[in-house]
Structure 1
Amino acid sequence: MPLEQLLALAGFVVVMTGTPGPNNMMLLASGANFGFRRSLPHIFGITVGCQILLVAVALGIGQLLSLYPLLDSVLKVLCGLALIYLAWTLVRPTKVLPASGEVKVARPLTFLQAAMFQWVNPKAWLMMITAIATYTEPTAMLSSLAVIALFFAIIGIPCISTWNLFGATLRVFLQDTRRARLFNVTMAVLLLGSMYPLLR
């Protein structure tokens, strides 16, 4: 991959793994209730589950994209629209959650539970489909898939761990509407920047 595409991929991974979603909300609650060490199986389960999902998506979508170049273009347009929609959802006016809305769980998720959850997590599906459609070359599928998987591991683990480590502090921080809006606008700009490969 050329350098500009690697930078765009890095920005995409930061935004997708670092912004609110089902995984990060659960890690936030897990960090607040059980601490970092007890949440490690949850963190690594998310990572491995996403890697398996990435490969599964690549095996099906990658072959279709090789056989039908028009489908590649259509999928890129759909992915671009999805990214624009996600950016819009980030900059919409945020609402302060009442204290009673705090998520409480009985015990942290196990490694297997966290890994299996990715198969029903719409954000995980969107991440992997978008990553495959945007950052892979059908003629070099294996090498580009390896780069994507590596980026999701080395960038994704610190991003999701941050939600766990600083969950309680982050929750308080984002309850301030102005700070939450600044954070979301920044994430939306990064998300739109990750569309660069779609525009080439």
Structure 2
Amino acid sequence: MQIATIGALALYAFVMSITPGPNNMLLANAGLVFGFRSTIPQIVGIPTGVISQILLVAAGLSSLFAQFPSIQLALKVAGTFYLLWLALKLWKADALAQSPNATPISFSQALLFQFINPKSWLIALTAVSAFLQPEQAVVPQLLIICLAFALIGTPCMAVWSAMGSALRRHLSSPTSLRRANRTLAALASATCLMFWL
């Protein structure tokens, strides 16, 4: 893979990882409710899920999507309902944060969410189609693509959690915390629209 291609890949990984979307809204809220350290499994789970999708797309899953468009529709519907369910949990997060049963999203939950997150599928499909050169050895190229999303995506995820955690320190009253939680829950719900554009 040429240096110019690696540079373009790095820019793509940065833009897709840092811009608002379902993952980043959930991370900001988790940072707000649970603090930064508690969100580390979620931060690591997201790029791990994206990398898994990249490998699956490179292995031929993209042709299955092309042959059966209904699979993509099912993913959109499932992703929408799951995100709305999570947004409802976030809406109630001020009460949950004080409950002993309240837990942030785990590594495996974050990883599995990517499989119903249309933005993550878009990232994987675009990364493979745009940056994988068929005339070159596939495995080294896939390694570079996966490393780009691990090394660039993970810090981008951490930024969103850190922003939520920083906001937590400035919200001293239960009312202000509730407002912040509900604002982030509304933004997470609004990101469902991007599934259908």
What TM-score range do you get, normalising by the shorter chain?
0.5 to 0.7
Distance 2:40 2:165 in 1: 17
SS at match of 2:35: helix
* Cα distance change on mapping 1:134 and 1:104 into 2, 3 Å: farther
Instruction: Name the structure 2 match of 1:110.
Output: 106
Question: 1:25 Cα shift?
Answer: 0.6
The alignment yields a C-alpha RMSD, in angstroms, of: 2.4
Question: 1:138 Cα shift?
Answer: 1.5
Distance 2:8 2:48 in 1: 23
Instruction: Name the structure 1 match of 2:31.
Output: 31
**CA deviation digits over 1:31-74, x for unaligned, max 9?**
11111111111111112111111111110058x6xxxxxx9xxx
- Please tell me whether the aligned partners of residues 24 and 160 of structure 2 are also in contact (alpha carbons under 8 angstroms): yes
Instruction: Name the structure 2 match of 1:148.
Output: 145
Distance 1:165 1:43 in 2: 11
Q: Write out aligned runs for 1:60-71 (5 A).
A: 60=60
Alignment-mate amino acid for residue 41 of structure 1: P
User: Which runs of no fewer than 5 residues in structure 2 stay unpaired?
Assistant: 67-89, 97-102, 171-197
What percent identity do the matched residue pairs reach?
41
- Please tell me whether the aligned partners of residues 36 and 165 of structure 2 are also in contact (alpha carbons under 8 angstroms): no
- Please tell me whether the aligned partners of residues 29 and 104 of structure 1 are also in contact (alpha carbons under 8 angstroms): no
Instruction: Name the structure 1 match of 2:124.
Output: 128
- Please tell me whether the aligned partners of residues 31 and 39 of structure 1 are also in contact (alpha carbons under 8 angstroms): yes
Instruction: Name the structure 2 match of 1:8.
Output: 8
Question: 1:169 Cα shift?
Answer: 5.7
Distance 1:57 1:103 in 2: 34
Number of residue pairs matched? 135
Alignment-mate amino acid for residue 57 of structure 2: V
Distance 1:153 1:35 in 2: 22
Distance 2:61 2:8 in 1: 21
**TM-score, length basis structure 1:** 0.62
**CA deviation digits over 1:134-161, x for unaligned, max 9?**
0001132211111000000011100110
Alignment-mate amino acid for residue 5 of structure 1: T
